[in-house]
Structure 1
Amino acid sequence: MYFEGGCQPNPGAIEVAAVARGTTYFFDDLGCGTSSDAEWMALRQALQVAQSLGEPDFDLIGDSLEVIRQASGMTIPGSNAAAEHLARYEVCAAHGQPRRVKWTPRGQNLAGIALARRNASR
């Protein structure tokens, strides 16, 4: 399960993409925030998509190293906003956790590629 969040401008309107089983899910109208807020929202949206698909074993894969490290417990949140995002993620994850939260380079993040393509075609 790939995830990507963005906002335009930064801060600005948040948009999110998640890719599972070759299908892309886009989420808009998520409010305004920073690129970090967008990545956290993308992580939670991807988690919820995986849970709704009934995936018993799944990884969450994204290109935001900061969010990956915090969500996987490798580092502690560096701000109150990040701590709040982590707490919301943990509540969602209680209903079905990923095997791991994994980093991938931006060019290999299928959700990031899908979001960039959609924005280029607008």
Structure 2
Amino acid sequence: MTRPGERVKIFFDGGLRPEGMEYALVCRGERRVRQGLGPGTSMTAEWLALLAATHWALALGEPAVLVGDSAAVIAQARGRVPARGDHAAHLAEWRALVADGPRPALRQVKRAQNLAGIALDRLPGR
């Protein structure tokens, strides 16, 4: 549990390998990894990671901060830059997820500080 006034941190990161997209989430020492998500782009993988992190945050029912290293995805989710193509659909899905309750905060960190990115780097074959 978090202390009063604190937000639970959920780290997210997406990646792309020859086998397809993947993502990792880390929260309170628990790691969730999904691989083999099909063809796509690294940015789509980042969006899938953000969406999965948002679902996890909503399931926890606690104030959350979603922590990732993708400046582009975080800027799109914050509404600071437009999302185009498939990413516009991901943005719409994200906005629908957070429309009825408190929106999780978003925070960008360097790749070396992203626990989910570290989890992806440690997967076999990297």
Calculate the TM-score normalised by the size of structure 2.
Answer: 0.83
Relative distance call for 1:25 and 1:44 in structure 2 (3 A) is same
- Residue matched to 2:20: 13
- Residue matched to 2:115: 110
Would you say how many aligned residue pairs link Structure 1 and Structure 2? Answer: 117
Relative distance call for 1:95 and 1:15 in structure 2 (3 A) is farther
Relative distance call for 1:97 and 1:18 in structure 2 (3 A) is farther
Residue among 17, 25, 31 paired with 2:38: 31
The residue matched to 1:76 in structure 2 has which SS? coil
RMSD: 1.8
Relative distance call for 1:99 and 1:112 in structure 2 (3 A) is same
Following superposition of structure 1 onto structure 2, how do residues 1-122 of structure 1 map, counting pairs within 5 Å? 1-9=10-18, 13-55=20-62, 57-77=63-83, 79-94=84-99, 96-120=101-125
Q: Deviations over 1:29-88 (max 9, x none)?
A: 422210010000000011111222222x111110000001000112121x2122111111
Residue range with higher mean Cα deviation, 100-109 or 112-121: 112-121
Stretches of 4+ moved more than 6 A in 1?
Answer: none
Between Structure 1 and Structure 2, the one with more helix by share is: 1
Calculate the TM-score normalised by the size of structure 1.
Answer: 0.86
The higher radius of gyration belongs to 2
Relative distance call for 1:14 and 1:53 in structure 2 (3 A) is same
Gaps of 5+ in 1: none
Contact 1:59 1:98 survives alignment (8 Å): no
Percent identity between the two aligned chains: 42
